[in-house]
Structures are given as structure tokens and as C-alpha cells.
Amino acid sequence: EDKVVQSPLSLVVHEGDTVTLNCSYEVTNFRSLLWYKQEKKAPTFLFMLTSSGIEKKSGRLSSILDKKELFSILNITATQTGDSAIYLCAVASGGSNYKLTFGKGTLLTVNP
């Protein structure tokens, strides 16, 4: 059974701190790893990673994948209160009709 584990489950920081969120996985026929941010409603897409060692960056957020060790990290630098959200990691696996397996998410709270 495919498995995606995120850590920590919950994190409270102060504005300006840098955080690292972790995602490890065990899946059959890995295709890609995706990060989403979920505030009050639907998850919004952040990154898709398919190759090891290539960092994806968007503003203060960045992410990297290690396919040998089967994990990914999401970094957020100089956090702001607007970064408070649940961050979800998902792994796409399978054939042409692939599926996404989601982790339980990391609840990040950024205090002013």
C-alpha cells in the first residue's frame, strides 16, 4: 500500500523564522511529488517535483526531492502570518491512470 508521511504534524513559529517541512514516501511506480497549500478551503498547487536534486523555487518557498532516500522538503524563509496553513504533500504513482496519495499534512501557524 502506498504511504506518504509528513512531519511535523504541527508547527508554531514567529514571523521571520525559516521552516522546513518534511515528506517521506513509499510508493509503487513513482511518477512525481506535489506540494499544496490549504488555507480555509481548497488546496492550491505549489510545486511538482519529478527529478532528484533540482530545487524548485517560488518567492520565499522552495522545495527539493531526493528519489534515492524517498523524501522531499519544503522550505519557507522569512515566514509571514499569511503563510499559516496546512501544507499537504502528495505522491503520484501508478500507470497512465495514476493516483495521488496524500500525507496528513503539516499545520503551520505563524504568529506575529
Q: Is residue 90 involved in binding other proteins (CB under 8 A)? A: yes
Which C-beta is closer to other proteins: that of 33 or that of 78? 33
Strands 106-111 and 99-102, sheet pairing: unpaired
Contact 57, 77 (CB under 8 A): no
**DSSP assignment, residue 1?**
-
Stretch that binds other proteins, among 12-20, 55-63, 67-75, 98-106 (CB under 8 A): 98-106
Binding other proteins (rule: CB under 8 A), the pick from 25, 79, 103, 110 is 103
45 near other proteins, rule: CB under 8 A? yes
Residue 70 near residue 83, CB atoms below 8 Å: no
**Angle, CA 88 vertex, CA 86 and CA 91 arms, to 5°:** 175
Chain residues that interact with other proteins, rule: CB under 8 A: 31-32, 34, 36, 41-45, 48, 50, 86, 88, 90, 92, 97-105, 107
